[in-house]
Structure 1
Amino acid sequence: MTQQIAIKEGLFTWPAEKPELLGSRCIHCGEAAFPAQNDCRACGSRETEITALGNRGTLWTWTIQSFMPKSPYLSDETPETFKPYGVGYVEMPGGVRVESRFELIEGQVPHIGMSLDLVILPFRTDESGQEIMMFSFKPAEE
């Protein structure tokens, strides 16, 4: 079995039955950030803590990525297998907005305010054969 590893430690809980994004929250003013930060961008405090941001958000804004990403964001896709995908900001509970890919459903037009669920997907295989896992979103199953 291929070993799977997160694209970066500390971005999401995984493996988990219901993975969640991980960010930070300022102990003084409550400002949330993703990815987690050591300093608060709102008040400058150096007292933040890791916090779960949840696994469902709403689409805040979006576009379609219709070309293959350049290095260092290369996946295992090739020009022959590449399919356009959604990319946008997903607003998580607590107000933090996360830039992310999201799945496009054939025949469904994404719309601002739609509910999206977090998913963990294979992104690429590294040179040692490990499958690199990343986070993305998909339209929520209501």
Structure 2
Amino acid sequence: MTTRLIDESLFENGEPHGGDGPRLLGARCSGCGTVVFPRQDSCPRCPDGVMSARVLPVSGRVWSWTLQAFPPKPPYRPPAGGHRPYHVGYVDLGEVLVEARLVVPRAEIRIGLPVRLTTVPAYRDEDGTEVVTFAFRPERDGER
């Protein structure tokens, strides 16, 4: 089966899986140190800095979350069988909050939960290619 990223610019080297798994790529301002995700060309906080690529940590903590019970607006594409509710929230990676899908069972999800970056299927293209996106799952003790 063929797989592709939903957006190559979100990942380090445009790949979802490196030697230690996926890594998200943000940007950092040289003037004030603000870190953003996804990358952007100008700083949202100051006019003086130059934005440079910044590989983000793979582990963080759930900062806030909710249940996405209804299908989002386009360009969202529901999976085969239709939309199924899923958790979405903000993950605190220390330097930046990242909005992401949370692949966490309802019984486990909570603010402060340690999570780790992963990839999940988003949808299938018309040609059968599986399109994957980033998400966070519970981090287990001793995991690197």
Same fold (TM over 0.5): yes
Q: TM-score, normalised by structure 2?
A: 0.86
Contact 1:116 1:137 in 2 (8 A): yes
| Alignment match of 2:69 (pick from 66, 70, 84) | 66
Partner of 1:12: 11
Tell me the C-alpha RMSD between the 2 structures.
1.7
Please report how far the alpha carbon of residue 63 of structure 1 lies from its aligned counterpart in structure 2 after TM superposition.
Answer: 0.8
* Structure 1 residues 45 and 5, CA gap change in structure 2 (3 angstroms): farther
Contact 2:23 2:117 in 1 (8 A): yes
Please report how far the alpha carbon of residue 88 of structure 1 lies from its aligned counterpart in structure 2 after TM superposition.
Answer: 0.7
Partner of 1:140: 139
Please report how far the alpha carbon of residue 120 of structure 1 lies from its aligned counterpart in structure 2 after TM superposition.
Answer: 0.9
Q: Which runs of 4+ in 1 moved over 4 A?
A: none
Unmatched segments (≥5 aa) in structure 1:
none
Q: TM-score, normalised by structure 1?
A: 0.87
Unmatched segments (≥5 aa) in structure 2:
none
Q: Does 1:31 align with 2:34?
A: yes
Contact 2:17 2:23 in 1 (8 A): no
Contact 2:43 2:49 in 1 (8 A): yes
Q: Kindly provide the CA deviation profile for residues 41-82 of structure 1, in whole angstroms up to 9, marking residues without a partner as x.
A: 111235111111111111111111122333211132434xx4
Classify the secondary structure of the residue corresponding to 1:10: helix
Matches within 5 A, 1:1-142: 2-13=1-12, 14-16=16-18, 17-45=20-48, 47-79=50-82, 82-94=83-95, 96-105=96-105, 107-108=107-108, 110-142=109-141
Identical aligned pairs, as a percentage? Answer: 36
Please identify which structure carries the higher helix content.
2
Classify the secondary structure of the residue corresponding to 1:101: strand
